[in-house]
Structure 1
Amino acid sequence: MYRLFTWLVRIVSTLLACAVLAAFGIWYFATRSLPDYDATYQMEGLSAPVEIVRTTEDVPHIFGKTDADVYFALGLAHAQDRLWQMTLARRTVQGRLSEVFGAKTLKTDELMRRLDLYGAAQASVAAQDPATTSALEAYARGVNAWIEEVNRAALGRGAPEFFLFEAEIAYWTPADSIALLKLLAVQNATQIDTEVLRAQLSMLGQGWAADLMPAVPGPGTIALPRYAALFPGLDPAQLQTAADVEAPLSPFASRDFGAASNAFAAAPARSAAGGSLLANDPHAAFSAPSQWYLARLELSTGGVIGATIPGIPAILTGRSDQLGWGITAAFADDEDLFVEELDPKTPERTAAPRVGEFTTRKVIVTVKDAAPITLTLRWTENGPVLPSDHFDLGKITPPGHVISLGWSALSTADTSMSAALKIMQSKTVPEAVAAGEGFLAPALNLTLADATSVGLVTLGALPLRDPANATEGRMPQPGWVMANRWHGRLPYDSNPRLLDPEGGIVVNTNNKLIDRPFPLHVSHDWGDSQRVARLTRLMGEREVHSRESFIAVQTDTVSPAARGLLPLVGADLWFTGTPAPEGTPERFRQRALELLAAWDGDMNEHLPEPLIYAAWMREFQDRLIRDELGPELAAKFIHIEPLFLEKVLRNVDGAARWCDVLQSAPSESCTDIARVSLDAALLELKEKYGPQIESWRWGDAHEARHDHAVLGRNPLLGWLMNIRQSTSGGDFTLNRGLTAGSGPDPFANVHGAGYRGVYDFADPDSSVFIIATGQSGHPFSSHYDDLADLWRRGEYVPMSLDPALARAAAAGITRLEPLGASE
């Protein structure tokens, strides 16, 4: 027995020792890729020495003799901190994920190959101006210099992820950076999803589409034909009924999760200190690390500082000493779906009356641990043909037809990168507006402020459509009808713009910008109808603003949707009936209503009221639409639609008919549905969070999830890589925290401001910014999540262009020297 015990001890000790050695080995090799910020490197491709001064937050301040050297150093800094993120993004837009991840990402690769955005980026290199070409080439040299240093010095393959996924790191090229800007357009794009959903609702009739997807209030609403009426003989029963195949790592977001943002500015007359103010917070899906990377560049035209996207050599939102610029998603209608009829005798061409051969090309997709796949890419005169098992296209494509896509981002002469660099180096609002003419995609609203003025202009190529277009671009349309096709681009000077408004205030929350009839409409589907009301009120409450008031507005967590909907949905429930006995469902409901009646709509993480409200409205909307639409279509509306709910509760145009359950004999009122849905919501919350309603916390449900795109779902690695935080805010607050909407944790915070910046031109160096995670993409770096708590609390770090301040707070200085400089 003693010998058995001894051997067991020896075996367990050996296993523990092996585990410790394995853990140490993993740690050692993983930490080899942590960059030394105090090192000196000799590198080919530089004309003179460069310094990268890292602040305590790991923000690189780059000083070089020439602009090309500065862009070289930015490329190197991006690669030092975010090499895995950059290469993953490049593989995504190239349609080459399956080479690393196998068959599970094949659907994503297929779609990206059919769009051929990377091919369009390669062709667009020749369209750039000389200064941009120089910047792109220098940036690529900097990235490649770091890749070479990683290989030369065995620096852990550049990032820990490369140990888990065997893949060679190809050298960076100028086309890669242009492709990543096109990838940003993909991440902003929601029109495909919106058009398909509107067509599906249209086929149901009953005006469901007009109610559930209403036009933002204001003139210009049109009556659409039913989708089936556009294709005589279409029988909805013939359409594909199978669900789409999931596409992991797809960059395309559904219409609920497209890019959003806030930007607002005040002219000197509305500023307490007499200088213009500008605030910007672009919204996107959370990730670890953040999409954004802070940097400062000292160029020949002066210093610029703000947020970059690793892989792109431009400050996309930030400031110089004379100009501030911020971006918001414009929600411009720059995508259209075209239904193309096939020739039944020759499927490789379209049918009469517009007979035309497809442009075709075969490509091979390499798949890890599987045979390669050959795809035949097809293009019509309107654009690339899309696969029917994406975006639910098969459910709206008539038999014998395919659907193609027209989209501004598909341009092969895309000068958006040149425009971005020109904007970054502009000195005044008018100069930046003029520089934006070459920006094609993504469509963005550019909010601007200089020392004396503020303004806003919409960037992006807006299609020139025929006034006789069958659907005005709101649903797929017959592609063989010339009136439905695009006829070029609207002139840039027709894009919405507002310079030096009389009131001195500019605001944008992806809201409706302009009210013009089709085809000058810009969009029928805007990104916000709620936040703009709160922003307008807060900006109007003060005659003058300061940096502090702008910060308060940017981090505001009051929901205008809650304030507007609760008095309507609870109108016949507040304080009605006699007090119910303790412990009964009726008493539980009364307590919830008492809390909501005293609540001011603040989606504070420490309160139970936001959780009760969110669960109630979610349950209420689902009960309204599920019997009319069926479970499949109802599941597409995973977030509440405030305009729809208000229309129903006010019975606008008879919309209260949604409250009657079609399958039941009685006629239910909206009060009946409101009561039943509140009880159901409370029961679900009680089971999950316990019986003490006062102890419920919105932050427990509204946890911000900054997850690693690839490893975040692994229980062990996810614990290391993911960043989770209790947060305030909600779907419709200025400090936006868009909820997941479905799944086991529907109120998890998954989409919001990855970057916040406030620029004060009365004292430019008092400007501030923050990103949601940290600068480094390395989980063992102290800078992986060191900014996350500041971000959660609504705090910021300084945004100074003073070299002395950067050096005084330097956590490290990397020196780059031309190869052979010391010889």
Structure 2
Amino acid sequence: MLYYAEKPSAPRTRGAQMYKKLKRTALSTAILAALPMIVEAGEVTIKRDTWGVPHVYAETTHDLFYGYGYSVAQDRLYQMEIAKRSTQGRMAEVLGAGYVEYDKKIRTNYDPTSIQRQIDALNTDDRAILDGYAAGMNAWIEQTLDKRNSLLPKQFHDNDFLPEAWTAFDVAMIFVGSMGNRFGDYNTEIQNQQLLDALIKEHGETDGWAIFNQLNPLNDPSAPTTIPKGDWEGTFDARHVELVSRPPVSAKTERDIARLAVGQDGGVLNLSLADAHRYNAKQFHDYGLTGVAGYPQTSNMIVVGKKKAEGANSILLNGPQFGWYNPAYTYSIGLHGAGFDLVGNTPFAYPGILFGNNNDIAWGSTWGAGDVVDIYRETLNPDNPNEYLFEGQYRPMERRTETIKIKGAASVQIDIHKTSHGLLVSRDNEQNLAYAKKRAWQGREVETLMAWTRQGQADNHKDWLQQASRSAFNINFYYADQQGNIGYAFTGKYPERKPNHDNRLPASGEGGQEWLGIKPFARNPQVYNPSSGYIANWNNKPADDFIAPDMFWYSWSEADRVDTMKAIMDAQEKFTAEDVKQMMEDVSYADVNARYFVPFLDAATQGLQTDDPRRQAVMLLKAWEQSSHDRDRDGHYDEAATTLFQAWLPEMLTLTFKDDIPGQYFNWYASAGYPSPESPLRSSVNIQPGTKALLQALRGDDAGVKQTYDFFNGRSSNELLLNSLEAALQKVKQTHGDDPAHWKLPVVPMQFFTNNFLGMPQAGKDELKQTHIAMNRGTENNLVIFNGKQVETHEVVAPGQSGFIAPDGTPSPHYDDQLKLYENFEYKPTWLTAKQVDANTQSVTHLKTEQ
């Protein structure tokens, strides 16, 4: 078998000697990295523990990741095949014509030449990670093809296709397509422009801008921060101007506005504004995206340092919220050898372990929400729509042609265009406009993967921070170590924009709003051993002096669900590991909205008689612990206040915003975000954009965002609070009767869907799993406890380690064996040392990396 040399300092073969000879020439590093070498056969040992988790032992990087890929193929072959195809836009060739539009969408969103160029430029040891992983996958695939009736997963038989061989490109694209093109790619600048245009059309420029700034503020200084105020003195954003009056540069009609967002494949879609919203909503639904308008709301973290930990030096508990799927979104693994000695889990079995630990440090991550993507409005040449105006000249767009193979039908071709700013996301030839996406992380995707992989080899904060500085995606990184030190870094490559560039709206592509550069990592918010003694994050604002993301559905505001965590952490002087687990369980059932609004309702009803139904309703809310359970498991939430509050908040949002936000845009701000049995939880519950704006409106002059437009339209806030409370009471009583003892909503189950995060089927329709009650918690949870000498780790990765179902329908014993653990908020142990692994090993496999 051919693969890449590990380290030229330790030659084992004539291939390595050739490497040394070539090193003395003027060949570039990239050429050396691509030189295949013939090496002696390696040995890999895979020990699977009592939960089916593989621990891979090998001497070289290639062999270690060969064992990793081999193990993944055994457990998740169909899931990984679908992940590979869904991130590259290759679904139609195995599932048919119904997936052609999906494939087009995906292929227009990445540049395969750039990814391959980055892979080719890797050094030999990094390249061995990808090559070894692919080789291990292929080794198991060969065995499944030889024994299809016993080893080929049932889903391949059901859908009548076979797995194909993997390459280094495929391994990298799993990461790029599911992490970069998801978490690093959120952008609603075109939708923001649509909203602003509609507001100005309805209210005039002054009030239109005022409403826009209150709904989608640049900065809310009252928003809670991950880094305690005063602990970080850096300056991330150099500009401190309030952008309120720049004339919008936009289309003039609703039809033109609609076209801006939905054009595909270089064409123009003639949709009305309402049609455009319906179209986008359908796309979000079909592709499995979640949250408001299809966007996910993701991940929490608590890290406790020596100052606040009891019975331990440091404690880390991560809850990444990707959504819930079967097979599980994350995959557990232990890697031992070639400079690695770690255990943890990671999405889609990335080579990099996102949530894990070695004996010295633990690490984790949550989505950072920083703005790393801008949309540029390109002016097209009227005589040639494939040329765009830049710096006074029309320039040709780059073009590549992609062929989409279709099962049972003829292939189709699409042309994908790119400007100096990036790939086109929409085009309007009638208006001579196109929109291109510029990503600060473009060209750095593979380096980011390697940084995330190599952080597992760090044994101190300095080395860990060095890897964090290489990450180009907008991700929060967390650290804890044996000595009780804890740390945080807001990672990513962020553009230095010109002062006239409002990051919420598309920028001119003609050359006047080009980035000035990329900010140095030293300006990214970061802290080591914060004054609070802990680090809490639920995708909230990283630090003061930080502008908000450009997404209408996600802003950093005074109302933030991280407050549910901070309130518990600040109320107690010390925390044991059990306390931290309990805190995470408590916030998983907490209502994230109630804490902000019950005091306003209380104040509004203070003057009412004690027997007034509205005052009695508020007393019910005040007595509520602001959480929802079904302890008697009767299928209904125990708390009557849950029913009342979930009825009130939408009523108040409607009374406040419906007469101010025109048309379909009101729907963006109308939702309270609560799931229901008919619309189950697909990702975590978050405070919605309308709810955040409502709190600011109620705060009035005390709001963190200046309230220059009166959403109450001259009425008192108390009037709307009382009217909405009355309307909510009527609805509750009509449905449940007058007696609050009967005000019980049906429990929303936690469903593990059979589509992946892009909506592609990664399991059979009959494989949907669920627990009794939904919990606002991690897709997985992992707990790491350091005592100064040893490390103790626990995790739960539901439904189970393996997604394998045999052709006869028999599932792996580890197919869903963590489902009950997850439902009961329990954890399984994980093992790191050889002694621990050996004591809990159930099976051992020995492999040769050369057949």
Structure 1 contact 120–413 (Cα < 8 Å) conserved: no
Query: Which residue matches 2:562?
Result: 532
Query: Which residue matches 2:778?
Result: 753
Query: Which residue matches 2:242?
Result: 223
Structure 1 stretches lacking a partner, 5+ long: 1-43, 389-393, 581-586, 661-666, 730-736, 738-751
AA at the equivalent of 2:541: K
Structure 1 contact 50–69 (Cα < 8 Å) conserved: yes
Distance (Å, rounded) in 2 between the aligned partners of 1:46 and 1:58: 30
Within-5 A mapping of 1:147-546 = 147-155=141-149, 158-183=152-177, 184-189=179-184, 191-193=186-188, 196-197=191-192, 199-205=194-200, 206=207, 207-218=210-221, 222-225=241-244, 229-231=248-250, 234-236=252-254, 238-240=256-258, 241=272, 242-243=275-276, 244=279, 246-247=282-283, 250=287, 257-258=295-296, 260-351=298-389, 353-387=392-426, 399-411=431-443, 414-441=446-473, 443-452=474-483, 453-469=485-501, 471=502, 473-482=503-512, 484-516=513-545, 526=555, 529-546=559-576
Deviations along 1:582-608, whole A, 9 cap, x unmatched?
Answer: xxxxx6x67644431211212334433
Distance (Å, rounded) in 2 between the aligned partners of 1:369 and 1:334: 40
Structure 2 contact 76–803 (Cα < 8 Å) conserved: yes
Query: Which residue matches 2:96?
Result: 102
Q: Once structures 1 and 2 are overlaid, which stretch shifts more, 243-252 or 787-796? A: 243-252
Structure 1 contact 52–60 (Cα < 8 Å) conserved: yes
Give the superposition deviation at 1:720: 3.2
Q: Does 1:595 align with 2:613?
A: no
Q: Percent identity?
A: 22
Structure 1 contact 249–709 (Cα < 8 Å) conserved: no
1:788 alignment partner, one of 819, 824, 836: 819
Give the direction of change, closer, same or farther, for the CA distance of 1:234–1:508 in structure 2 (3 Å limit).
same
AA at the equivalent of 2:769: I
Give the direction of change, closer, same or farther, for the CA distance of 1:712–1:280 in structure 2 (3 Å limit).
closer
Query: Which residue matches 1:11?
Result: none
Give the direction of change, closer, same or farther, for the CA distance of 1:724–1:576 in structure 2 (3 Å limit).
farther
AA at the equivalent of 1:378: H
AA at the equivalent of 1:200: L
Within-5 A mapping of 1:15-34 = none
Distance (Å, rounded) in 1 between the aligned partners of 2:117 and 2:142: 27
Give the direction of change, closer, same or farther, for the CA distance of 1:622–1:190 in structure 2 (3 Å limit).
farther
Q: Once structures 1 and 2 are overlaid, which stretch shifts more, 717-726 or 601-610? A: 717-726
Give the superposition deviation at 1:654: 5.5
Distance (Å, rounded) in 2 between the aligned partners of 1:158 and 1:259: 35
Deviations along 1:452-489, whole A, 9 cap, x unmatched?
Answer: 321111222212322332x1x1111211133x222432
Distance (Å, rounded) in 2 between the aligned partners of 1:67 and 1:359: 38
Distance (Å, rounded) in 2 between the aligned partners of 1:257 and 1:711: 11
Query: Which residue matches 1:694?
Result: 741
> Secondary structure at 1:555's aligned position in 2?
helix
AA at the equivalent of 1:365: I
Structure 1 contact 47–69 (Cα < 8 Å) conserved: no
Structure 2 contact 288–757 (Cα < 8 Å) conserved: no
Give the direction of change, closer, same or farther, for the CA distance of 1:302–1:335 in structure 2 (3 Å limit).
closer
Q: Once structures 1 and 2 are overlaid, which stretch shifts more, 235-244 or 346-355? A: 235-244
AA at the equivalent of 2:399: T
Deviations along 1:613-646, whole A, 9 cap, x unmatched?
Answer: 2232133213432332244112223333343121
Deviations along 1:330-367, whole A, 9 cap, x unmatched?
Answer: 11110001111111112110137342111112222223
Q: Once structures 1 and 2 are overlaid, which stretch shifts more, 636-645 or 521-530? A: 521-530
> Secondary structure at 2:783's aligned position in 1?
strand
Give the superposition deviation at 1:325: 0.5
Structure 2 contact 183–367 (Cα < 8 Å) conserved: yes
Distance (Å, rounded) in 2 between the aligned partners of 1:816 and 1:685: 64
Structure 2 contact 325–756 (Cα < 8 Å) conserved: no
> Secondary structure at 1:71's aligned position in 2?
helix
Q: Does 1:51 align with 2:76?
A: no
Query: Which residue matches 1:720?
Result: 766
Give the direction of change, closer, same or farther, for the CA distance of 1:339–1:70 in structure 2 (3 Å limit).
same
Structure 1 contact 182–409 (Cα < 8 Å) conserved: no
Distance (Å, rounded) in 2 between the aligned partners of 1:711 and 1:537: 32
Structure 1 contact 128–417 (Cα < 8 Å) conserved: no
Alignment RMSD (CA, Å): 3.4
Deviations along 1:752-771, whole A, 9 cap, x unmatched?
Answer: 51121121110644321112
Deviations along 1:759-786, whole A, 9 cap, x unmatched?
Answer: 1110644321112321122363332222
AA at the equivalent of 1:260: T
AA at the equivalent of 1:540: D
Give the superposition deviation at 1:279: 1.9
Query: Which residue matches 1:769?
Result: 795
AA at the equivalent of 2:220: P
Structure 1 contact 550–758 (Cα < 8 Å) conserved: no
Deviations along 1:548-607, whole A, 9 cap, x unmatched?
Answer: 122122222234531121221453246834747xxxxxx6x6764443121121233443
Distance (Å, rounded) in 2 between the aligned partners of 1:496 and 1:270: 22
